[in-house]
Structure formats: C-alpha cells, structure tokens
Amino acid sequence: MKATIYDVAREAGVSIAAVSQVINGKGKISEERRQEIIRVMEMLHYQPSRIASALTGKKTYTIGLLVPDISNPFFAEIARAVEEQGHQLGYSLIICSTENKDERVERYISLLQQKSVDGIIIGTGIDNKKMLKPFLDNETPIAMIAREMPGLDVKTVIVDDYVGGRMAAEHLLALGHRRLAVLTENPKLSSSKERIRGFREGVELSGGELPDSRIKACGDELVKEGKRLAAQLLQCEDPPTAIFCCNDLLAIGTLQAAKQLGMKVPSDLSVIGFDNTILASVTDPPLTTVAQPTERMGRTAVDRLIGQLDKAYDGELRTVMQPNLVVRSSTAAPL
C-alpha cells in the first residue's frame, strides 16, 4: 500500500506539519531533523505529488544541469561532481546536453523549467543573453559554470581562463619555443576569449607575437577538427614548434595529426592542453595541460545555486578559481 504523509509523520515521530515543511522546503526545521524525515520518506517509498507541488510553486528538490557536450569528459566530470554535491544536499540532478547545437540551448533551458527544477546550472556558452531572459523573469535561479555571461547578474563559477592561458605561454616560452600557434573551440565563448588573451599577452610580454593567422577556431567535433587544423598549421611554410590547445580534446586531435605526419611529440612538436580530464593522463605521450579544479567547480556551483534557493547566501557573484599547470610528457625544448 502506498505510504501517506501520515505514515511518514508517525514513523519519524514528528508532526504532519514538519513533514510538509520538508516536502515544501518551507518553515524552520533543523538540518538533522530534515535528514531524518527524508530518510523515513525514502524508507517508506513515500512520494509527494511533485507535479502538483510544481503547479503551486513549491520546491521539487531537483536541479538541472545544461552542458554543451556530455561526451566531452570535462563536462562529464562536472556532471559527476554536481550530482554528488546535489545528492549530499538532498537534491536530484537532471542533465541536458545540447550536443554543441546552439539552437537546442533555449529548448533545453525551457524544458528544464517546464520540468519544474528548482534551479539550473549552465555550462553551455550562451551567445545571446536574451535567451535567458524568460528564466530570469520567472525567477528560476541560475548559476553559470565554466562559462561566463558578462553583463548578466547570475552566480558564476569559473577558472581564471586568462591566467591559464598565460601559464601555457610561459611554460612554452621557458622551454625556448618562439613559433607558437593556438587551437580553440568556438572563439565567441568567454572561456576561449580569455584563454587566448592570456596566451597572447604572455607571448607579447616576452617580446614575441602571435599573429591572428596562428589562431585556428574549430567546429563542434573537437577531436576531428583539432586534427584537421593542426595538420594545416604543421604543413604551412613556417610551422609552429608548439601548439596551445584550448581543451584536451583538441590536444588529442593535434597528437593524432602529428602522428599522421610522422612527427614525434615532444621532440618535433610540443602540445599543451587545457582541462586536465582523464584523457590527459592516458594519451601517448601523456599531456601537459592546464588543470581546472573540475570537482571543486562542480560542487561550488551547486552550493551557489542552492544558496540562492534557500536565500541563505548573499555573497560573491563570481567565484574565480586558480588553474594549475600539470607538466607531463607532451612538451619539451624545441630541437
């Protein structure tokens, strides 16, 4: 027989009002007591009618995560951290992936809202902030992760992409590289822009330069496109001795291009990635890469989002984390 709110209250030894407060996320109730009531609900398989709750504007204890490409391990690792932290705080997670198709962004944000999530974490670059307007108007709390939307007043958790780009440049310059090139994903993304700006400034501060012709922007299929464009760069008249790839998937494409052209990494070509996903540690050779604190970013985005839901946190709008350079075997002094 289906458990009722009465069964939960009796089993937990609390009032029906207390159970109701837990269900609706309202009223004052200690965290310990809340957890105990949730435990009893789970034990009894008690399910409040959340669709009905949604219509009356109550909490559903669900958060949404929108990512551009779930098959990019960076976002899969973000999703894992978000799920784990959400779980710790009593929230379930539903994930939507736009598969790098811009036209699906709006549809999926809208879908998440229709599914009555309490808040949405967005890891997808959004070109046009008008797209978010309906959701902001509707007061669905939003947090951005790994991407920034300048001019929009939403909680944002990012790595310092500029500093990451600088780190990559300084590492390659210190090894003695002067002929440098960059592969980036969509250059409109805030993260891409900042990584390139940091890299370029690092180069310029050392007296070098990075002409625009040495920066190639890839389409959506990052490994394949990275391979194609790296091959172009490596076959031009004055080929680079080192390539900074704005994420690990592009770096893998670059390793594949070098291999196909019979070039050895790192002796013929240095390659540096960004993200430090699981891929970076398994490639041949293992990738030097700028690491993002992926797990910490995922957890923090959840905290910031839920802080808004609970109106408990009124502090920083942007949380900027420090990247760090992980040196493996894909970079060395040029021959």
Residue from 28, 30, 31, 52 touching its own copies (CB under 8 A): that is: 52
Question: How would you class 25 by CB atoms within 10 Å of its CB: exposed for 0-12, middle for 13-18, buried for 19 or more?
Answer: middle
Residue from 16, 43, 55, 205 touching its own copies (CB under 8 A): that is: 55
Q: Order the strands of the 288-291 sheet from edge to edge.
A: 215-217, 180-184, 242-245, 270-275, 288-291, 324-326
Determine contact, residues 245/74, Cβ cutoff 8 Å.
no
Residue from 18, 77, 146, 257 touching its own copies (CB under 8 A): that is: 77
Q: Does 51 bind its own copies (CB under 8 A)?
A: yes
Q: Which stretch binds its own copies (CB under 8 A): 22-30, 104-112, 139-147, 303-311?
A: 104-112
Residue with tokens 């464009």: 229
Residue from 278, 317, 327, 333 touching its own copies (CB under 8 A): that is: 278
Other Cβ atoms closer than 10 A to 329: 13
Nearer to its own copies, 148 or 248 (CB): 248
DSSP secondary structure string, 286-301?
A: PPEEEE--HHHHHHHH
Nearer to its own copies, 204 or 284 (CB): 284
**Positive/negative CA dihedral, 246, 248, 254, 255:** positive
Q: Does 127 bind its own copies (CB under 8 A)?
A: no
Q: Show the site string, 188-217: x = touches its own copies by CB under 8 A, - = not.
A: ------------------------------
Residue from 42, 209, 310, 316 touching its own copies (CB under 8 A): that is: 42
Q: Does 242 bind its own copies (CB under 8 A)?
A: no
Whether residue 266 has a cis bond before it, omega within 30° of 0 = yes
Q: Does 284 bind its own copies (CB under 8 A)?
A: yes
CA distance readout (Å), 166 to 68, 169, 200: 25, 5, 8
Q: Does 316 bind its own copies (CB under 8 A)?
A: no
DSSP secondary structure string, 159-202?
A: E-HHHHHHHHHHHHHHHT--SEEEEES-TTSHHHHHHHHHHHHH
Kindly state the smallest distance separating residue 66's Cβ from its own copies, in Å.
11
Determine contact, residues 292/145, Cβ cutoff 8 Å.
no
Q: Does 172 bind its own copies (CB under 8 A)?
A: no
Q: Does 83 bind its own copies (CB under 8 A)?
A: yes
100: left (phi over 0), alpha (psi -120 to 50) or beta: left
Residue from 3, 29, 44, 94 touching its own copies (CB under 8 A): that is: 94
- Kindly report the length of the chain: 335
Q: Does 283 bind its own copies (CB under 8 A)?
A: yes
Q: Does 38 bind its own copies (CB under 8 A)?
A: no
Number of residues that bind its own copies (CB under 8 A): 48
Nearer to its own copies, 103 or 314 (CB): 103
Q: Does 289 bind its own copies (CB under 8 A)?
A: no
Q: Does 102 bind its own copies (CB under 8 A)?
A: no
Other Cβ atoms closer than 10 A to 314: 8
Residue from 63, 108, 120, 299 touching its own copies (CB under 8 A): that is: 108
For binding to its own copies (CB under 8 A), which residues are involved? 42, 45, 47, 50-52, 54-55, 60, 62, 69-71, 73, 76-77, 79-80, 83-84, 87, 92-97, 99, 104, 106-108, 110-112, 114-116, 223, 252, 255, 278-279, 282-286
